[in-house]
Structure 1
Amino acid sequence: MATIGEFKPTHTAPGNQLIEDVDSINEKFEEPSNKNLGTTLKDSGDYDPKLQRSLLLKLDLIDRSDIGNAKVAGMTEKLSISSEQYANITSWFQIGYIVFQPVGTLFIRKLRPPFQFSAAMLVWGIITVCIAYAKNYSQVSGLRFLVGCSEAMIQGAFFYLSFWYTYDEMSLRTGIFYSVSALASSFNGLIAYGIEKGLSYSGGHYAWQWIFIIEGILPVGFSFFVAFMLPDIPTRPTFFSKRLFKKEELEYAIKRGRATHNADDAKIRVKQIFITLLRPHFWLLTICYSVTHFSTSSVQNFLPSLIKTLGYTSARAQLFSCICYACAFVTLIIVGYLADRLQQRASLLMICYVVTLVGYILLLAVNNDKVKFAGACLVTAGIYPTVILVIIWTQVVLIGFTRRATALALINSIAQAIGIGGNQAFRNEDNDYRTGKAACVGILCLGVLATALNVMYLKWRNRQKDAQCDSDAANEARLQSWDDLGDDHPDFRYAF
């Protein structure tokens, strides 16, 4: 966690108006709404282990791979889609994602998470079912674009978690959240295997059509659950959260949010958007996440096809892909736990990149099919945890609502654009996808380098802040709010 000195604000942002519930909470505290912003709960005297356990227990109780499974199940043959066109279809998904990702993150407070996520899931499911009835390449491309648009609105969930969890809790919770994606991908493989075995042409539908129908219906059902059961941000309790959480738990959740630099009156500040773009660590993190998405997009869209090249039938390729995603599920939980426990992101990120690199080298250089399959397991086990590590590292070193939202939105959008390159690198099935594998090896080396450079830069910035912490400029800067200064605040220290 970033080392933060005690901060006593002397400036309150104008127009600080909260909902009626939060007004009563703040009146009870008899303190400015953003008091102790950026101060740990223990340092501020607000730490309550009993409330902490109760709140976290309740909070903790609270996909894309279908196209890859459908390809192996016969979609490309039935619709006369070439390898190049299939790569373009996967890219259209990412284009839709790029268009709507900034909206889904920057405006999450205005759109309200329960409604934003549930609506996106509902649209996602309906459009996915529609793909089952597409007749040609153009229709599949257009529908995949719309799927990307709707899924982009769901990815604000990473940002949403920062409203409820502190820095030393977010990695594990984000890992659990994202592991559901890996688990869903594993179930996708099982569903696809079962469909190919038992529903190859049942009810007038081919196996690949049943994949989209079944996987589209599930999120439609869950969307209603999310709409009614998911809590909003702590300062804006919903009908359900008022009944789930006690009043003192909601009060404590607001204090925890302040400790994670979430101002009660946070809003989009246009100037902060441009400031974020001038930060070297923003661009180094963007490189890291681009490396991650270059690899994950190829895994999500081509894994069953890669496994099929090892000599398995299409049905067994679906089944064996479950094992790879199960490896990712396990490592996501383990790495998330270690990142929180050790408060390490950069070192774990480099380890995960190296594990993924070894996996791709095995896929590229070894002829033994069993060793190649082990390489595929290493790829999924290594690359999936890098998603949460880069996301959490970004939220720890770029603080303030606008800077954090801007960074998450743009890093994700840029990375998705790079992910298109990952799809295109695997567009040629000839020669065992060697071009795509080699491209992943090269870009993973870039990820290791960018991570190391970012650590060096952030350490240098910390030394600068240490040297200037008692200067007149630093004392003058302390008169401004944390939300205005973000990570430029003289008392903030970058964590790795």
Structure 2
Amino acid sequence: MVDKLDTKMAAGKWDNDSDSAGATVTRTEHRDLESSNSNKGLRTQSDTPLTEAEKRAEKKYLLKIDCIILPLIAAIYFLASLDRSDVSNAVVAGMGVDLKLNAGQISNCVAFFYIGFLAFQLPGSILVRVLTPPIQLGVALMIWGGATAIMTEANNWQTIAGLRVVVGAFEAFINGAPLYLTFWYKPDELATRGAIFMSMMNLAGSMNGLIAYAIQSGPLNGRYGRPAWRWIFLVEGVVSVGFGLVILFLLPTTPERVKWGFSKDEKKIAMRRTEEAYNVPNAKPNGAQFVAALKDPKTWFYSVLNACASISQGVWSNFLPILLRKIGYSANDTQLMSIPVYAVAGVCAIAVGIMSDRRGNRGYFAMGAFALTAAGWLILLVSKNRQLSYAGTYLVGAGSSPTIILVLAWINNNTGGYTKKASVLGIATMAGHGSAFAAVISLRDAPNFYIGKSLSFGSAIIAIGVSYAFMIYIGRKNARKLAEKDSPESIKNRALDVEQIHDDHPDFMYCK
């Protein structure tokens, strides 16, 4: 952030300058504005100089929230991903044969999830302060877990598809989790933390394969007349319902509302840090900020990038077991061989998140991740060799897993104002899951799935170009702010905070 006025203003060289409306700003008015601004705008949210003792206290506090908030949010994403990808595992475990499902019906069972998910994206982001994070996330977890458990009684694809709409609708409310993290973490801490909890999606994928394998080959298969695929839904659904209660009672709310679990000094640290992260405590939903999000070109850049990222991630995560099965592996081998693929993807997501935070850059890392994704899909498109195709799944996972994390961190870094940030996150996620829905629907041309693979490859190539173009765009935005930082309009706007002027603030500089 640019947090100082140019020396020529202090020297009084602006006496006769005028703004675009022709209003003259005198040296006295400049002094008044500078004095007024010293306690307003982003100056109140700039990093506070800390003593060594305060730095140690903040490190201890940061470790504490890392040990409380991150595991709980990570567990939510882990369980969401278990429930999201279990249809594919259930098909491999015999559901397709038992219910006589064709490729189109299986695709519908996977894709209908996105109908509910898309419908509740914006409420999932905007209402997180209104409902409070523990209630929103905990209740959502219990409801989608219950819907998953009920699938154990399904006797046709329509029942599964309908329940998947319910699962998607309530999983949409975890879209508030990335926004929730911005209340507790600073911008340069977000990609690392986001990578940790988003990597749970990959861990869940590997665990789904392990759970499915254990059920298929263990004593539960056939117990009480239930085949393995029915147990997959029941076990994963019941676990989600139980953990929803844990979230309801243990997840801290927003820093300004937290009442237990933190000392008085820790609450002060939390409030200082949330303001330094450009949050205004107790901010309410704001219609003007929603309109501003719709008008902002950055929103649509993010939406295109998230759409491209979600196509690959959606196809890969939902259909990996089926893709492996079609490559030529047995049912049991498929469940086991998906495990290391997901593990590598999770490690890559965390590594890229850490490096992105340390370098203070999102764009170049996103371009690299999309390039790796494209290489993986190209192999899966052209290869006729089983081992090479299997290697391609690693490249897709390693590339696609960091992309969504980077896009979300980019949004959180570059968007000011509670409602605007929530709206941009919601719109971009809607674009992402809308494109994933279309991609998953396209996976009907078994056994080669050329349409879905081609769509995933093409979207990754497009994203490389869009990422580069976006970096140029925000670089020019930063240059314009720097060039105009001492203009009469910038001086007047400097007294406003992010809830009033959001990321248009003259001192709010964008992260590339």
Question: Do both proteins adopt the same fold according to a TM-score greater than 0.5, normalized to the shorter chain?
Answer: yes
Q: Is the 8 A contact 1:189 1:321 kept in 2?
A: yes
2:3 matched residue in structure 1 = 5
2:394 counterpart of 1:396: no
Q: Is the 8 A contact 1:105 1:405 kept in 2?
A: yes
Q: Is the 8 A contact 1:41 1:256 kept in 2?
A: no
Residue 132 of structure 1: SS of its match in structure 2?
A: helix
Identify unmatched segments of 5+ residues in structure 1: 8-30
**Of residues 164, 181, 185 in structure 2, which corresponds to 1:165?**
185
Query: How far apart in 2 are the matches of 1:380 and 1:410?
Result: 24
TM-aligned CA deviation for residue 46 of structure 1:
11
TM-aligned CA deviation for residue 368 of structure 1:
1.6
Residue 449 of structure 2: SS of its match in structure 1?
A: helix
Query: How far apart in 1 are the matches of 2:326 and 2:194?
Result: 33
Range that drifts further, 452-461 or 65-74: 65-74
Q: Is the 8 A contact 1:41 1:47 kept in 2?
A: no
2:320 matched residue in structure 1 = 303
Residue 309 of structure 1: SS of its match in structure 2?
A: helix
For residues 252-285 of structure 1, give each alpha carbon's deviation from its aligned partner in whole angstroms, at most 9, with x where no partner exists: 1111111111001411110111111111111111
**Of residues 66, 71, 76 in structure 2, which corresponds to 1:60?**
66
Query: How far apart in 1 are the matches of 2:453 and 2:354?
Result: 30
Q: Percent identity?
A: 34
Q: Is the 8 A contact 2:41 2:496 kept in 1?
A: no
1:463 matched residue in structure 2 = 479
CA RMSD of aligned residues (A): 1.9
**Of residues 278, 282, 296 in structure 1, which corresponds to 2:295?**
278
2:149 matched residue in structure 1 = 129
Query: How far apart in 2 are the matches of 1:110 and 1:92?
Result: 28
Q: Is the 8 A contact 1:72 1:305 kept in 2?
A: yes
4+ residue stretches of structure 1 with deviation over 4 A? Answer: 31-37, 44-47
**Of residues 447, 456, 466 in structure 2, which corresponds to 1:440?**
456
Query: How far apart in 2 are the matches of 1:108 and 1:230?
Result: 13
Range that drifts further, 228-237 or 131-140: 131-140
2:508 matched residue in structure 1 = 492
Q: Is the 8 A contact 1:37 1:260 kept in 2?
A: no
2:221 counterpart of 1:200: yes
Q: Larger C-alpha radius of gyration, 1 or 2?
A: 2
TM-aligned CA deviation for residue 434 of structure 1:
1.6
TM-aligned CA deviation for residue 190 of structure 1:
0.3
1:26 matched residue in structure 2 = none
TM-aligned CA deviation for residue 80 of structure 1:
2.2
2:188 counterpart of 1:181: no
Q: Is the 8 A contact 1:68 1:300 kept in 2?
A: no
Q: Is the 8 A contact 1:38 1:261 kept in 2?
A: yes
**Of residues 90, 95, 98 in structure 2, which corresponds to 1:78?**
98
Query: How far apart in 1 are the matches of 2:466 and 2:203?
Result: 29
Length-normalised TM-score, structure 1:
0.90
TM-aligned CA deviation for residue 482 of structure 1:
2.1
TM-aligned CA deviation for residue 45 of structure 1:
8.2
Identify unmatched segments of 5+ residues in structure 2: 6-37, 69-80
Paired letter, 2:294: L
Residue 233 of structure 1: SS of its match in structure 2?
A: coil
Residue 508 of structure 2: SS of its match in structure 1?
A: coil
For residues 92-140 of structure 1, give each alpha carbon's deviation from its aligned partner in whole angstroms, at most 9, with x where no partner exists: 1011011112111101001010111111111111111101111112111
1:51 matched residue in structure 2 = 57
Q: Is the 8 A contact 1:129 1:216 kept in 2?
A: yes
Range that drifts further, 195-204 or 317-326: 195-204
Paired letter, 1:450: V
2:483 counterpart of 1:453: no
For residues 34-76 of structure 1, give each alpha carbon's deviation from its aligned partner in whole angstroms, at most 9, with x where no partner exists: 884441234x889931121111111111221111111211212
2:251 matched residue in structure 1 = 230
